[in-house]
Amino acid sequence: MPDDGSPPPQRRNRRKDARPAEVIEAARDLFISRGFAATKLEDVARRAGVSVGLPYLYFENKVGLFKAVVEHSILPQFRLGEEMLDGFDGPTEDLLRTMAHKYWELEQSPLGGLPKLVIAEAGNFPDLARFYIDHVVVRGRALFTRVLQRGIDRGEFRPFDAPTMARVVAAPLTMLSVWHHSLAPFEPEPRPTAHSYLDAYLDLVLHGLRANPGNPRHD
């Protein structure tokens, strides 16, 4: 996809109610590819194929547009994860494995660069960072906490402080995202694959969480 702010093809004759979603999509792509500070609302408008002033009709400013990106792109993913947890009947190990691999699937989507973006811009845009913490990080930790507490309650995991452990379990996945969108392309060959990373991560984490670590499950 070109990064010159030009509109992609076939952006004509859109319905009026589709325009906010197209602006949000364009903003997401430009924020991730250029950075938050370097992206102007005028660039977003050109990428979306709308008039330069139209984003200001829907969003107060650039921070407001970033919040809309999070609300429309990331928060639905949390709802899906919470629904999956509510309806999951199998072992908690399987649930944690599924969550880790779903996280990587999300990393392959256009949303994948958002954690790196926020970390890079946090010092200069504290309101953006606080919003991301409140709406993404806290909710993600809560989801991991519920999964871990489920394992404890079912006797599958040993007793521990689930909220604190949730931070520890989530951190390597965040690092995988940041690495993938920053230094990974410059890593010398042979490069480890994301799947080998996830396999090693799950092996280490699950061995540490199990109530009976000497009797691992064999899938």
Q: What secondary structure, in 3-state letters, does the chain show?
A: CCCCCCCCCCCCCCCHHHHHHHHHHHHHHHHHHHCCCCCCHHHHHHHHCCCCCCHHHHCCCHHHHHHHHHHHHCHHHHHHHHHHHHHCCCCHHHHHHHHHHHHHHHHCCCCCCHHHHHHHHCCCCHHHHHHHHHHHHHHHHHHHHHHHHHHHHCCCECCCCHHHHHHHHHHHHHHHHHHHCCCHHHCCCCCCCHHHHHHHHHHHHHHHHECCCCCCCCC
Domain that includes residue 119, residue range: 74-209
Residue 6's pLDDT is 54
Q: CATH number, domain at 49?
A: 1.10.10.60
94 and 202 both lie in a single domain? yes
Mean per-residue pLDDT for 93-117?
90
Q: Answer yes or no: is 99 within a domain.
A: yes
82 and 182 both lie in a single domain? yes
42 and 145 both lie in a single domain? no
Residue 3's pLDDT is 55
Of residues 155 and 5, more confidence is placed in 155
49 and 109 both lie in a single domain? no
pLDDT tens digits for range 145-204:
999 999 999 999 999 999 999 999 999 999 999 998 899 889 998 888 888 999 999 999
64 and 81 both lie in a single domain? no
Q: CATH number, domain at 83?
A: 1.10.357
Residue 87's pLDDT is 94
Boundary residue ending a domain (47, 68, 89): 68
pLDDT tens digits for range 23-82:
999 999 999 999 999 999 999 999 999 998 889 889 989 999 999 999 998 889 899 999
Residue 125's pLDDT is 94
* Number of domains the chain is built from: 2
26 and 128 both lie in a single domain? no
Q: Is the pLDDT of residue 12 over 60?
A: no
